């Protein structure tokens, strides 16, 4: 291998891991770490990474070879281990690897997994590359520790958020299940738009909490069967702001705050709370606006009965370019028509 991976100034650990985001799902998160390692240690043709979860399950990502058999593979005792020939671990021998470099992934308390790089050739692993591998282990372990900590905190906070959402919907029997339906439809529209999985997750969770600010609106206004006064309408229009404020204490929801705040903006700029228009409205908010409106139109409310499926579709079509993003509407209509036929 020589010192090639170390000497190339255009490839550094910070650069190959710079595109990691804690919003990225765990499998893709690990894949990006693996891809970064294979860029640094480019003499190795094969790579795999695994992470042991709290429930003793494993997360696998691999490249260039079949899924490795890790049953007999013990967690690495050293930060970096090199194996060659007959010393290659048994679970990796089926891949006919001659050289294997194992880089541990660990927290402060324990080794949680490993990055495995392999080659069908006998390679000379230099001391410089061992030093680089140890540094990569520190970086990768730091990112994985942050991701695992965030996952644990998210599981707890998701429970809190769902409880808050359920409590909000209990105040208004007409909206029970509304947030869940909007979240599901928003995610389906986002998938039809071929958005990245991380963006779909953001849109899903923004949809779950988009109306949570209605907790700050009196029931007498929310449940009013007749026409609202101007003062009451102004109060209703503040609920996206209240929703944004409600989730501001959750750090992992920081990136979805704009989606929550702006889900009632209009494509023409006549919406609220900030009068944004067209592409100035976050794309996720434009998706939620369509899903939210469709579910509202097809549900009974205190002030009117459901418009029905076909009428709601027509409303989306008629208001494309004014209230809704035309592209989002087009994708939404495709999704909704398929759902009707299913």
**pTM metric for this prediction:** 0.58
- pLDDT tens string 208-237: 989 888 877 777 777 777 788 888 888 888
Q: How much of the chain, in percent, has pLDDT values that exceed 90?
A: 29
On whether residue 162 sits in a domain, the answer given is: no
- Domain assignment of residue 160, yes or no: no
Residues 213 and 332 in one domain: yes
116 three-state secondary structure: strand
- Distance between CA 43 and CA 132 in Å, rounded? 14
Do 181 and 300 sit in the same domain of this protein?
yes
Q: Based on the domain organization, do 206 and 90 belong to the same domain?
A: no
74 dihedral zone (left: phi>0; alpha: psi -120 to 50; beta): beta
pLDDT for residue 190 is more than 70: yes
Whether 165 is in a domain gets the answer: no
Q: Are residues 96 and 18 in the same domain?
A: yes
Question: Could you tell me if residue 85 is inside a domain?
Answer: yes
List residues bridging with 80 in a β-sheet.
103
Query: CATH number of the domain that 182 lies in?
Result: 1.10.3210.10
What is the number of structural domains in the chain? 2
Question: Could you tell me if residue 247 is inside a domain?
Answer: yes
Return contacts of 159-163, CB within 8 angstroms, 24+ apart.
161/205, 161/208, 161/209, 161/212, 161/247, 161/250, 162/208
The predicted pLDDT at position 127 comes to: 86
Q: Is residue 12 located within the same domain as residue 92?
A: yes
- Exposed e or buried b per residue across 143-159, where buried means at least 16 C-beta atoms within 10 angstroms of its C-beta: bbbebbeeeeebeebee
Most confident of the ranges 55-59, 74-78, 135-139, 246-250: 135-139
Residues 144 and 264 in one domain: no
pLDDT digits (tens, 9 = 90+) for 25-84: 777 888 888 888 888 898 998 888 887 764 444 566 666 656 556 555 666 678 888 888
**Does residue 159 lie within any of the structural domains?**
no
**Residue 105: CATH number of its domain:** 3.30.450.40
**Same-domain check for residues 115 and 238:** no
Co-location of 328 and 203 in the same domain: yes
Which structural domain, as residue segments, surrounds residue 238?
171-341
133 and 192 fall within a common domain? no
Determine, yes or no, domain membership for 255. yes
Q: List, as own/partner pairs, every contact residues 152-158 make where C-beta atoms lie below 8 angstroms and the sequence separation is at least 24, other chains included.
A: 153/252, 154/252, 157/250, 157/252
Residue 182 lies in a domain: yes
* pLDDT higher than threshold 90 for residue 341: no
The structure tokens listed for 269 are 């700029």
Strand residue runs (E) in 25-97: 46-52, 58-63, 80-84
Write out the two tokens for 256.
């979805």
Are residues 133 and 175 both part of a single domain? no
Last residue of a domain, one of 115, 149, 183: 149
Q: Does one domain contain both 249 and 316?
A: yes
Are 239 and 323 contained in the same domain? Answer: yes
């Amino acid at each position: 291998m020589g010192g090639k991976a170390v000497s190339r100034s255009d490839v550094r650990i910070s650069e190959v891991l710079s595109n990691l985001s804690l919003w990225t799902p765990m499998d893709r998160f690990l894949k990006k770490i693996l891809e970064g390692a294979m860029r640094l240690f480019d003499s190795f043709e094969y790579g795999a990474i695994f992470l042991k979860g709290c429930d003793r399950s494993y997360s696998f990502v691999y490249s260039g070879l079949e899924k490795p058999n890790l049953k007999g593979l013990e967690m690495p005792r050293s930060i970096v281990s090199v194996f060659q020939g007959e010393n290659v671990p048994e679970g990796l021998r089926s891949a006919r690897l001659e050289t294997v470099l194992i880089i541990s992934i660990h927290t402060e308390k324990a080794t949680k997994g490993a990055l495995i790089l392999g080659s069908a050739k006998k390679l000379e692993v230099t001391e410089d590359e061992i030093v680089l591998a140890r540094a990569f282990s520190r970086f990768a372990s730091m990112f994985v520790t942050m991701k695992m900590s965030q996952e644990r905190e998210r599981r707890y906070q998701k429970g809190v958020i769902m409880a808050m959402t359920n409590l909000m919907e209990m105040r208004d029997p007409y909206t029970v299940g509304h947030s869940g339906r909007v979240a599901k439809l928003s995610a389906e529209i986002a998938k039809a738009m071929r958005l990245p999985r991380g963006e779909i997750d953001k849109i899903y969770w923004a949809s779950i909490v988009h109306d949570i600010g209605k907790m700050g609106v009196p029931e007498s206004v929310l449940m009013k069967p007749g026409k609202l006064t101007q003062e009451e309408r102004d109060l209703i229009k503040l609920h996206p702001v209240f929703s944004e404020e409600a989730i501001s204490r959750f750090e992992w929801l920081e990136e979805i705050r704009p989606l929550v705040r702006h889900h009632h903006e209009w494509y023409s700029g006549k919406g609220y709370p900030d009068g944004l228009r067209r592409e100035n409205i976050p794309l996720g908010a434009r998706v939620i606006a369509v899903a939210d409106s469709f579910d509202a139109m097809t549900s009974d409310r205190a002030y009117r009965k459901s418009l029905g499926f076909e009428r709601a579709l027509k409303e989306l079509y008629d208001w494309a370019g004014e209230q809704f993003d035309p592209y989002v509407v087009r994708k939404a209509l495709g999704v909704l028509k398929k759902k009707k036929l299913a």
